Amino acid sequence: MDSVQREYWVKVAFGCVYHGIMDDGSEVAIKLLTREEQSGDREFIGEVGMLSRLHHRNLVKLLGICIEGRTRCLVYELVRNGSVESHLHGADKNKGNLSWDSRMKIALGAARALAYLHEDSNPRVIHRDFKASNVLLEDNFTPKVSDFGLAREASDASHHISTRVMGTFGDACLAWTQQCEVVRLLLFNANIYFARAETSSMDT
């Protein structure tokens, strides 16, 4: 972690992501948190402890953290094939249309990731900012749900978490619940379907 070479990559919610190269040549994604997102050291370490216990094929893996003065970073595995949003509506759209098989793979993988967070992880977690730009793609289009700086533990009694406004501006679900997140998944799947339908109609 001492000699990571960093190249600015992209700005995301509550921070910037850098492309990092470790001493052993492995590549990582480094999220540098903004001051607004930074909590106390104890709270930050506790949140990272929660994130480190989340392991699923369709979640971006947290590899480590760095705390130096007021600078705090989260180090993740690098998922280099862009986001679902980018492939449907952004810079990666010119690479060609996603096949139906790839779209089904993405939809199923994202659903499995949320099902794991809601039902099988310990503690159970609600992501709070699930959307197409937070679903990254491997080269074979395996989806990886990302940006767990917004994740919070879910109460066993009510499946309810803090109503503090975070995530995408204008979100109607201020008191995030699992039900709200399922609605976001349905909208995500509709986005995948209608983007394809629009392209198909133009081709005919």
The span from the CA of 133 to the CA of 172, in Å, is 18
Q: Give the residue numbers annotated as catalytic, written as ranges.
A: 129
User: Residue 195 is inside which H or E element, if any?
Assistant: helix 178-203
Residue 120 and residue 53 in contact, taking contact as beta carbons nearer than 8 Å: no
Average pLDDT, the chain: 76
The encoded tokens of residue 166 equal 């975070």
pLDDT tens-digit readout, 178-190: 888 889 999 999 9
Contacts with 181 (C-beta within 8 Å, 6 or more apart), sequence order:
114, 118, 126, 127, 128, 130
Q: Are 57 and 142 in contact (CB under 8 A)?
A: yes
Gyration radius from the chain CA atoms: 17
Question: What residue spans in the chain does CATH classification 1.10.510.10 cover?
Answer: 84-203
pLDDT value for 94: 76
Contact predicate 104/135, CB 8 Å: no
Identify the CATH homologous superfamily for domain 84-203.
Transferase(Phosphotransferase) domain 1 (1.10.510.10)
Tell me the per-residue pLDDT of 20-56, one tens digit each, with 9 for 90 and over: 888 888 999 988 876 655 556 677 777 788 888 889 9
Domain with CATH 3.30.200.20 in the chain: 5-77
CA distance linking residue 183 with residue 199, whole number of Å: 24
Record the tokens describing residue 159, joined without a space.
């499946």
CA atoms 187, 189, 192, 193: torsion sign: negative
Residues 9-28 have pLDDT tens digits of 554 555 688 888 888 889 99
Terminal Cα distance for the chain, rounded: 52
For the domain spanning 5-77, the CATH number is: 3.30.200.20
Task: Spell out the alpha helix ranges (H) of 75-177.
Answer: 84-89, 100-115
Give the contacts of 155 (CB within 8 A, at least 6 positions apart). Answer: 161
Q: Which residues 6+ apart lie within 8 Å of 34 measured at CB?
A: 14, 15, 16
Structure tokens given for 119: 């039902």
